[in-house]
């Protein structure tokens, strides 16, 4: 997988090597990437999930080929500000999720990064659909999903399911 470049961001594959570095600590990941890392990355949930993500990347060659999505690096400041998670398609559908650290939110970075990753995913063989989920009360996430063209297709408990078809 190669880097994706947008106007303001570098999107660097979140490979097994980089996941393992993040498990060791952000200083190790910063050394590997040659960037600074925002002090509030990763959030607690991602930190807790990193060992499981590493196991998935070790045990599933196709997911390892894709990596676990992309790390979002702010070009001008050379700082890691978030990540875009992308699950591989087993049935022509891929699931996407994203997080931008609070100090960089509400500046369009989530939309910019997510749009670029979706464009990349739709260039991959077999990817016909991208889905995403968010809490019904997460207005910011809902706005990102609407902005990038996803359609709300289902509500489950307090969660919303979104979908975008390859066109």
Task: Give 16-39 pLDDT, tens digit per residue.
Answer: 999 999 999 999 999 999 999 999
Cβ atoms of 66 and 48 within 8 Å: the answer is: no
- pTM for the full model? 0.92
How many residues in total does the chain contain?
167
Buried b (16+ CB within 10 A) or exposed e, 4-23: bebebbbbbbbbbebbbbbe
pLDDT at 55 over 90: yes
Domains and CATH numbers, the chain: 4-125 (3.40.630.30)
Q: Which two tokens stand for residue 132?
A: 């995403």
pLDDT bucket at 92, cuts 50 / 70 / 90: low
pLDDT tens digits for range 117-147? 999 989 887 889 999 999 999 999 999 999 9
């Amino acid at each position: 997988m190669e880097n994706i470049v947008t106007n303001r961001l570098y999107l660097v594959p979140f490979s097994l090597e980089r996941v393992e570095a993040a498990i060791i600590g952000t200083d190790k990941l910063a050394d590997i990437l040659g960037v600074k890392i925002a002090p509030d990355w990763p959030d607690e949930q991602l930190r807790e999930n990193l060992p499981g993500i590493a196991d998935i990347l070790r045990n599933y060659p196709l997911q390892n080929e894709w990596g676990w999505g992309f790390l979002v690096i702010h070009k001008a400041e050379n700082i890691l500000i978030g990540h875009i998670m992308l699950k591989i398609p087993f049935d022509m559908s891929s699931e996407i999720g994203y997080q931008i650290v609070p100090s960089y939110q509400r500046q369009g970075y989530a939309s910019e990064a997510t749009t670029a990753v979706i464009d990349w995913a739709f260039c991959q063989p077999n990817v016909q659909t991208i889905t995403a989920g968010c809490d019904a009360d997460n207005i910011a996430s809902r706005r990102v999903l609407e902005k990038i063209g996803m359609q709300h297709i289902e509500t489950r408990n307090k969660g919303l399911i979104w979908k975008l078809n390859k066109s």
